[in-house]
Every structure is written in structure tokens, then in C-alpha cells.
Structure 1
Amino acid sequence: MESGALALVLHAHLPYVRATAPNSLEEDWFFQALIECYLPLLETLEAAAADPQQQPQLTMGTSPTLLSLLADPTLQRRFPQWIKARLGLLHEAPADRREAAVHLQATIERHLASWHACNGDLISRFAALQRQGVVDLLTCGATHGYLPLLREHPEAVRAQLRTAVREHQRLLGERPLGIWLPECAYYEGLDVWMRDAGLRYAVLDGHGLLHAKPRPRYGVYAPICSRNGVAFFGRDSDATLPVWSAKDGYPGDPAYREFHRDLGWDLPPERIAAHGLPGQRPLGLKLHRVSNQSAPLDAKQPYQPVQAQARTREHAQHFLQGRRDQLANLQAGMGTAPLLVAPFDAELFGHWWFEGPQFLAELFRQGPEQGVRFSSLRAALGGTPNLQVCDPCPSSWGRGGFHDYWLNETNAWIVPEWSKAGQTMVDRCSRGVGSEADLRLLNQAGRELLLAQSSDWSFILRSGTTTELAKERVERHLGRFWRLMAAIDHREELPEGWLVDVETEDALFPLIQPADWARLHNTTAIP
């Protein structure tokens, strides 16, 4: 019997934070993730793939909104200037942080050179890794909509999934077979609409499988198949906690870089402004280490890159030894090769945990000598011909494990707004489109509805960070939706240039199809 394997799954996602003006908070979100996470991950994967001694494989979800940002030519033009301003600020670092500043400058310049070498086309590089069999790329909901809260109108769920698949294929050149369900959230019958969109597998949190009916004989250590023909994998907490937990896991090590202390807070506003940046704010320039976790930020010690790199080697070895022992123990009691599924937000690697990409590189480098084999989810399914048939349990990977993080006193007001707009969209699309002009308006209305459904805004409202931004985003997209529907149904005249401005600002999903919202006559089976 073949030995078991470790399936690393990364979910790369940002909401559609395209901003019309430079130096916005939204632009910072994207560019920081770009320089700290996506470019380093590509470097790690490409280097591992080029080494014949390594056998890297992982699964990676790329949300359609993130792909839209990566493909946006305006953001591509702005990125080098955004980097240039921050490189200039590194020269302002105090003397005791020069080692950290020099290291960070070299790191940023290396990733910027990588950016220029591909003319900013990161999507093609991810697609090339998929063709090599290194990465299995998953899609997501079109705008990361929290699907259990959209189920009142199944057409809204169908539109999220079909739009996502269409956009993934347009940008990456290959139709996805798997999906990272937004927030790993599942409800009874969702597999019908996954199958309708051509999606064949997904990841759930552990209790999504452990509470399935009947209970899977191998727990989370083998995929199951739903009665509607979709495979599900379960998250293994033993394989994720050491990496995920900032308190108890590797990222909290005293040698690693401190996320919360930023040069943008340490420097006086006038020195920041001299580089063309607006005031004090997080700039992605972090020069301190965790030190003592309980220490206040002003007591953090300067970052020491060599010491941190040594810790990544030690932590990778510790992690692999743990997985090797875990697989051996499981295999002794299972009739099939066990699979450890370890899903994470991709942004953990590099953005939240600066050393994360180096940790991954060490995993791939040390894997063969530690006897740990890596697998993608697609490859694992290919090697598991007979899956137990089970109905997954409604679940999510949010706090509490079900749906309450996205439906509570802070954000519940959004749900009836989604419902009202969703019903109107279904009614209108079910009547057909009368003219090319109406189709243009309806296409944009669909984009605005999808954007309003992003789970990111509900998450922010619940977590209490930048809540005004989240509220403004939901209200902006819904306001645009209702204005577009009034223009279609009541011939209300739009202000001159308004439609062009909205289409320019929310310029995603060029292949959107209003027919995806057309009313279903039988919601228990695929039409």
C-alpha cells in the first residue's frame, strides 16, 4: 500500500479593493500582499520545481477578485512607484535597525526584479506551475460570497459559482475542478450547485466530515463523496495548529518578525510625507522581531534575519517529523493511505508570517529526507478510486465552526438587503433582456450585486476593524445596483458619464451572464 501524504492547501484571496486614486488603504492591502505573499510564494514554488531533488506539490485557491486585481493594468502600472516610495523610507530607519532594513530592502528589490521580469504577469506564472503539476489551482465564489446566507435564492449561489468558474478559465486558461468554498462554508444541497458549475471537490473544516452522515470510517484522513458526486476533504487540526497559531505555533517564535510594529508608525509624519506618502499608517516596513510575545510594541527588539532563517529550518524539520509520525500511526490502523489536509490562508505565508515562504521552501527541501510525501487534492483523488458516500455536515471554518460569525448583531442587517436585491435580480433576469442597452445595465447590476455579497465586509463588521469602510462598500454596491435596476425597469435617466465611471471602477467579470440568475423551476435538481 502506498504511504500517506501531506496535502498543503493555500487560499489566496482579497476582496475587490481596486481604488481609483493611488495611496489608498485598499491599494495598500493589495500591494502589501503582492510583495509579501504572492511574489514570495511564486519564488518558493518555482525554485522548488526547478530542483530535481524535490517533489513539491500543493493546492492553491485563487479567488476571482484577486485574479482580477492581479490582471488589472492600472494597478500593475502603480505598483513599482508604490514600492519605490517605501524603499526610500527604509533609508530613514534608525541605526539599530540597519541590519533589518538592509535585509528588507534586498528582499523587496529581489521580488520587484521578479515582477519586472514577467512584466507583472503573475497569473501566467501560476498557470505554468499548474501545467508542471506543482500546483493545483482552485477557484472560489466569484466575490467570496458566504453561500449559506445566499441560499434563500439558489440562483444567487449558482451565479457566484458559475461566474467564478468562467473567470478562472478566462484568466488561467483551464477550467477549475476544485473550489475553496468561501470560509469553507457548506450547507445541505450546496453540492448540487457545485456539480452544476463543474466543480468536483472542496475542503471543509474537520467537523464538516466528522459530523457527516454516515460518519466517515476514516474521519478526516480520507476524502468522502457526497450523494451528488462531489468529493470533500477535511481539515486536520494536528497538521494546521503548529503553523496557524500565532500564540502556540511557529509564527510566535521570538526570532520571527513582528507583524504589528511598522516603520510607518515609528517615523514622524513629516518624514513620511517627504516621500509622497500620506501621514502615519502601516507601510509594510517591519524591522522588529516578536521578542517576548507579551512585551508591548515599543519594547520589541530589532529583527535579526540570520537567526530567523535558522529557526525556519528547525521548525520545518519539527513539523515534518510530526507529520511523518502521524502518518505512520494512522497507516497502521487504516485500510487506505492516510491523507493529512492542512489548509491555510495564503496570506499567512509572508504577510502575517514573514518567514512563511521560507518555511515552505524548507518543507519541500527537507521532505524527501524526512520521508514525507506531498500531494495536491486533485492528485489525491486520482489515487483514491473508491470513496465512502456521505452527506457532509453544515459547517464553516470560522469562529464557532458554523455560520454565526457572518450572521450576528454586527452584520445581520446585510442579509435582508442581499435577499431583496437577489430577488429583484432573479425576477428581472427571468424576464429576459430587451435590448443591448439593457444588457449592458444588467451586466453591471450583476457585478454590483456580486460585489455587495463579499463575505469580507461581513467579516470586518464582526471583527470591528475598518468597519466604516466595510459598511460604505456594501452600501455603495447596493446603491449602484438599485440605480441600474431603476434605469432598466423604470427608464430613470442616469447622470452623464455615471455608467462609464462605474464600469471603470468595478471592471471585472467581462463574461458575466445574467442568465445565471434566471429563475429555477426545480431547486432540488440541476436544471
Structure 2
Amino acid sequence: MAKGNLAIVLHAHLPFVRSEEPGSLEEDWFFQALVECYLPLLRTLEEAYNSKEQFPKITIGLSPTLLSLLEDEVLKNRFKEWVNIRLEVLESLNTDNKKAALHLKNHFKDQLASWNSCQGDLIGRFEKLQISEVIDILTCAATHGYLPLLRENPEAVRGQLKTAVREHKRLFKNPPLGIWLPECAYYEGLDELMAEAGLRYAVLDGHGLLNAYPRPRYGLYAPICTSKGVAFFGRDSESTLPVWSARDGYPGNPNYREFHRDLGWDLSIENLKKIGINEKRPLGIKLFKISSKNTSLEKKQQYDPIAAQAMVEKDAENYLKDRKRQLIKLEKSMIIEPLLIAPFDAELFGHWWFEGPQFLSQLFIKSKKEGINLITLKESLQINNQLQLCNPSPSSWGQGGFHNYWLNDSNAWIVHEWSKAGREMVNICSKGIQKESNIKIIKQAARELLLCQSSDWSFILKAGTTTGLARERINLHIKRFWMLINAIKNNKIIEPNFLKTVEREDCIFPLISPIDWKKKI
């Protein structure tokens, strides 16, 4: 038996993509994530907990923006129709790939049944799993703001952190102790603001620990602690690469489902319009397997769910055997039990890699047999409470390991907008709101400021995907922020219908507090 532990950490996040229009691209993002990732993940964890043969333990970060979408009644009311439209499309298909079509129909029906069983209350299901100690739920920055690029105004970082903590407490009754820092990005002094918000631990990319001062005695294989009382864990690339890499890892296996071949690209515009979609885009209906790496999309072979399941079992066993060898090797040079940290975006499991939830299930089934102890970050700190005192290195898990993916020619213009708006927010909140009627306005301005700071839009501008949508979102929230702020500055009466529209569309963070942006004396 290997002496050591494995902590699987998932980061569940979507930007605030609430849309007033049914059938929008933003709505598709959310509903596809529900049906492919979050509902299957919940079922996997619940079934594992109820089984005497499985031993589920994971840490999962649920971002405040994702939680706001999960809580939204308008979106909840649209989900069933969205799924039923996909079922109708599958029923009407005249395809030779009947095995894959039937499998996908059953998948949609299973997720809809899972949704109906809790009346769409996924937050309540996550809470029950946390109470049962199956999962440890982390928060994230309020809108996934890239914190190192907001540091010019420390109060802007505080606003991201304290709003997140307040929202988490509202939904889960208790404040979070851990946080998934957006993009695992860290800068010197961030730990002080984290501690001020009551946050006690987070995950960094490997070099955040390896380049810490002084150099950690156990490298990545034990958490460190700063003088502010905040612990940091380091990502272990050996434990993540086999799952993370589509090229070299398990998700690229020829038997697994192809992500990019979607019926939405194959159907004609005429057929798409019949289901209320006016442009070609993914529907979440995928019937082909990856096949060989050199196979073009139009020549992909039919997906075989039975062959895929057999490969999942094999890959899960291989993954655990490799972790066992790794732990046995590490324990020879450590006087404490080594800890492997394997963090992933949650949507890898189900959305990007359709078989991902099955893979997790197999890990829960096979871990004890292989002598691997699955553990949450919170539990690991309870076991090992004497941590080496170190200062982490500035870092992120983005390309290049630092900030260049969120600060480059495609998106650097946003940083100036954040800084300018952040300064104004701090100035107004520090002076205090004189008129009671302005309190409602400044709260909405705070929401708009947070929403424009989402790192998702910076990422999209760099990636070059839906750049029009990203620019539209950034500019919309910045414009609304300044309209609200200028109404306060110039003592103007804001148009009631405008405020009602903005509050309806950007209905997030009901307990937001402008005090978080007040400058400390």
C-alpha cells in the first residue's frame, strides 16, 4: 500500500451568461454544461456515496457566477424545453449510427430525470454532498476576475473576494474556507486580502510553490503556509497531464466521443431554423468518436459507447497505478505522507471529455484496491497542520505560467478600463453615499464593475473564438457602470426604466456591499 494521498480538485465555472432571449448562444453554453457536466457529475458523486464499493472524495470550486445561473428561475424554466428540442431532433434523425443516437437519447433523458428529481435545485444537492463530507466546496472570485491585473486598486480585489464569500454564505449557510483563485493566479500580498476575507487555502500552479521563498522542503508534495495564515497547494503535472492533455492523455483515445463533430454544424440552416436557431452552432448532439488523430471531422467513425466504457475502466486503472508508483517513490524521501494535487476544470469531465464522469466513477471504485487514498484539501490540512512558512511566487496556470494570456495585444485595453472604473468606485465608496436613493444605484454599479472584470472575456479575446460576444459583454457592463456612476456624481435622476432593465438583466449578488470598495484609512 502506498503511503500518501491524492486530492482531485475540480473548478466549476461559467461566466454570467444569463440571457433574456431563449435559444441564445449564451443559454446553450449553460445548458450544455448542465447536461454534459454538472448533472452527470452530481449523479456520479451521489451514486458513489450511496455505494459501499466506492469511496468518493473530491474538492470542487463552485464559482459565484455559476451558482447564480444554477439559482436563476428563468433559466430553470427553460431547461426542460431545451432538452426536449434535442430529443426531438434525435427522434427525427435518419442515421446509420443508431447505437450512438440511442445512447445519447438515453443520456438526455437520464439528465432530465435527474433534474426533475430535485426540481432543478442543483445547489441543494451539492450542499448535501458537502454535509456528507464527500466534497469540499471552494468559492472563487466573484466574477472570476484575474486578480493580479486588478491589484492597482486593492479594493477592487477585496470586492471580488468579499462579494464571493458573502454569496457563498448566502447559498450554503456557512462561509467558505478555500478558494479557487481565477486561473490559479497569484501576486505578492494577495494572501493578506484572502485572510481578510476569511479564506484559508488555495491551489497554485506548480511553479508558484517551486519558486516560493524559502524553497519548500517537499516541493509540490506538501502545502505551504504564508505569514498571514493562508495555505497553498501546488499542482502536480504528473498527476494532471494524463487527464488534461487531449493530445497525449486519455481524452484523446480514438474510442472516446469526438467533441468537435456536432450535429449543429452538419444540419442545414433551414433545418436549424425549424428548431428556433438561426445560425450554425453546436447543439450538444455528438454521434461520432475521435477515431484516429489524422481523421478529418467529416470522416469520423461512429461512436460505440460500450467500447468507450471499456477504455474508461482501463484508463482509470492505469491512472491509479501510476499514482501509486509515484507515491511509493516519494515516500522514500519524505518524513510526512506525500500529497498529490490534481486540479482540473470541471467541464473537462463530461463536456470536453464526454466519458470524464465515468472515469471519476472508476477512480472511486478502484482507488482502494490500488491503495490510493482520495482526500479533500480541507482534510489534508486537518491531517498535516504543521506547514512550512513560505511566500509563494507570482504565477498562474496559463500559457507561459504568468499573466501573458490575459495581458497581450488582443486584450490589454481592458486593463485600463478596469483601473479607471475601479478608481472611481473606490473614490465614491470611500466618500460615502449621501443620498439614500443612491444606494440602489451604487450597488448596481458594483455589479457592473464586477461583471466587466471577468477573465473569461479576456481569455476569449486572446483565443480568438467568440470575440464579438466578449467585446459586447465588456463594453455593455462598462457603459452601464459609467451611466450609473455619473448619475451619482452629477446628482442626476436616473431614468427608472433603465435601472429596472439593468437590475433585471444583471440580477446577481443580492447582498452586494459597496463598503467592500471603501479605502482603508
Is 1:451 aligned to 2:419, yes or no? no
Equivalent residue for 2:186?
Answer: 186
Is 1:147 aligned to 2:147, yes or no? yes
Aligned ranges 1:508-527 → 2 under 5 Å = 508-521=508-521
Equivalent residue for 1:226?
Answer: 226
Equivalent residue for 2:166?
Answer: 166
Aligned ranges 1:211-222 → 2 under 5 Å = 211-222=211-222
Equivalent residue for 1:389?
Answer: 389
Equivalent residue for 2:15?
Answer: 15
Contact 2:2-2:371 within 8 A present in 1 as well: no
Equivalent residue for 1:357?
Answer: 357
Shift of residue 267, structure 1, vs aligned partner: 1.8
Is 1:441 aligned to 2:432, yes or no? no
Instruction: Number of aligned residue pairs: give it.
Output: 521
Question: What is the Cα-based RMSD across aligned positions, in Å?
Answer: 1.1
Report the AA paired with residue 421 of structure 1.
A
Report the AA paired with residue 220 of structure 2.
V
Aligned ranges 1:71-150 → 2 under 5 Å = 71-150=71-150
Aligned ranges 1:334-349 → 2 under 5 Å = 334-349=334-349
Equivalent residue for 1:525?
Answer: none
Aligned ranges 1:410-425 → 2 under 5 Å = 410-425=410-425
Report the AA paired with residue 59 of structure 2.
T
Report the AA paired with residue 277 of structure 2.
L
Report the AA paired with residue 434 of structure 1.
Q
- Aligned partners of 2:319 and 2:93: how far apart in 1? 35
Report the AA paired with residue 280 of structure 2.
Q
What per-residue deviation string (whole Å, max 9, x for no partner) do you get for residues 398-449 of structure 1? Answer: 0000011111111000001100000000000001112331000000000000
TM, length-normalised to structure 1: 0.98
What per-residue deviation string (whole Å, max 9, x for no partner) do you get for residues 450-475 of structure 1? Answer: 00000001000111011111111111
TM, length-normalised to structure 2: 0.99
Report the AA paired with residue 404 of structure 1.
N
Shift of residue 268, structure 1, vs aligned partner: 2.0
Equivalent residue for 1:371?
Answer: 371
Structure 1 residues 286 and 266: CA distance shift in structure 2, 3 A = same
Equivalent residue for 1:259?
Answer: 259
Contact 1:88-1:275 within 8 A present in 2 as well: no
Contact 2:23-2:276 within 8 A present in 1 as well: no
Equivalent residue for 2:200?
Answer: 200
Shift of residue 51, structure 1, vs aligned partner: 1.1
Shift of residue 250, structure 1, vs aligned partner: 0.3
- Aligned partners of 1:19 and 1:132: how far apart in 2? 34
Contact 1:258-1:290 within 8 A present in 2 as well: yes
Aligned ranges 1:20-99 → 2 under 5 Å = 20-99=20-99
Report the AA paired with residue 183 of structure 1.
E
- Aligned partners of 1:266 and 1:465: how far apart in 2? 19
Shift of residue 273, structure 1, vs aligned partner: 2.3
What per-residue deviation string (whole Å, max 9, x for no partner) do you get for residues 57-101 of structure 1? Answer: 110000000000000000000000111111111123342211101
Shift of residue 271, structure 1, vs aligned partner: 2.3
- Aligned partners of 1:479 and 1:85: how far apart in 2? 36
The more displaced of 502-511 and 273-282 is 273-282
Contact 2:263-2:285 within 8 A present in 1 as well: yes
- What secondary structure sits across from 2:400 in the alignment? coil
What per-residue deviation string (whole Å, max 9, x for no partner) do you get for residues 300-327 of structure 1? Answer: 0010000001100000000000001111
Shift of residue 173, structure 1, vs aligned partner: 1.9
Aligned ranges 1:293-308 → 2 under 5 Å = 293-308=293-308
- Aligned partners of 2:262 and 2:403: how far apart in 1? 34
- Aligned partners of 1:11 and 1:275: how far apart in 2? 33
- Aligned partners of 2:380 and 2:129: how far apart in 1? 18
Equivalent residue for 1:309?
Answer: 309
- Aligned partners of 1:493 and 1:283: how far apart in 2? 44
Shift of residue 385, structure 1, vs aligned partner: 1.7
Equivalent residue for 1:460?
Answer: 460
Equivalent residue for 1:285?
Answer: 285
- What secondary structure sits across from 1:371 in the alignment? coil
Contact 1:2-1:337 within 8 A present in 2 as well: no
- Aligned partners of 1:500 and 1:471: how far apart in 2? 23
Shift of residue 350, structure 1, vs aligned partner: 0.2
- Aligned partners of 1:272 and 1:162: how far apart in 2? 44
- What secondary structure sits across from 2:41 in the alignment? helix
Report the AA paired with residue 277 of structure 1.
I
Shift of residue 355, structure 1, vs aligned partner: 0.2
Shift of residue 280, structure 1, vs aligned partner: 2.5
Contact 1:23-1:278 within 8 A present in 2 as well: no
Unmatched 5+ residue regions in structure 2?
none
- What secondary structure sits across from 1:488 in the alignment? helix
Report the AA paired with residue 460 of structure 1.
I
What per-residue deviation string (whole Å, max 9, x for no partner) do you get for residues 129-164 of structure 1? Answer: 000000000000000000000000000000100000
Shift of residue 496, structure 1, vs aligned partner: 4.2
The more displaced of 431-440 and 390-399 is 431-440
Equivalent residue for 1:398?
Answer: 398
- Aligned partners of 1:270 and 1:84: how far apart in 2? 19
Report the AA paired with residue 264 of structure 1.
G
Contact 1:85-1:276 within 8 A present in 2 as well: no
**Percent identity, aligned pairs only?**
60
- Aligned partners of 1:275 and 1:473: how far apart in 2? 26
Report the AA paired with residue 223 of structure 1.
P
- Aligned partners of 2:326 and 2:355: how far apart in 1? 25
- Aligned partners of 1:432 and 1:231: how far apart in 2? 35
- What secondary structure sits across from 2:97 in the alignment? helix
The more displaced of 271-280 and 87-96 is 271-280
- Aligned partners of 1:192 and 1:2: how far apart in 2? 36
- Aligned partners of 2:161 and 2:481: how far apart in 1? 20
Shift of residue 2, structure 1, vs aligned partner: 9.0
- Aligned partners of 1:263 and 1:294: how far apart in 2? 21
- Aligned partners of 1:324 and 1:435: how far apart in 2? 63
Contact 1:85-1:277 within 8 A present in 2 as well: no
- Aligned partners of 1:385 and 1:466: how far apart in 2? 45
Shift of residue 104, structure 1, vs aligned partner: 0.4
Report the AA paired with residue 432 of structure 2.
G
Contact 1:9-1:58 within 8 A present in 2 as well: yes
Equivalent residue for 2:324?
Answer: 324
- What secondary structure sits across from 1:342 in the alignment? strand
The more displaced of 46-55 and 362-371 is 46-55
What per-residue deviation string (whole Å, max 9, x for no partner) do you get for residues 250-281 of structure 1? Answer: 00000000000001111222223223333421
- What secondary structure sits across from 2:259 in the alignment? coil
The more displaced of 84-93 and 63-72 is 84-93
- Aligned partners of 2:244 and 2:489: how far apart in 1? 49
Report the AA paired with residue 401 of structure 2.
G
Equivalent residue for 1:524?
Answer: none
- Aligned partners of 2:463 and 2:249: how far apart in 1? 22
The more displaced of 88-97 and 232-241 is 88-97
Equivalent residue for 2:245?
Answer: 245
Contact 1:6-1:374 within 8 A present in 2 as well: yes
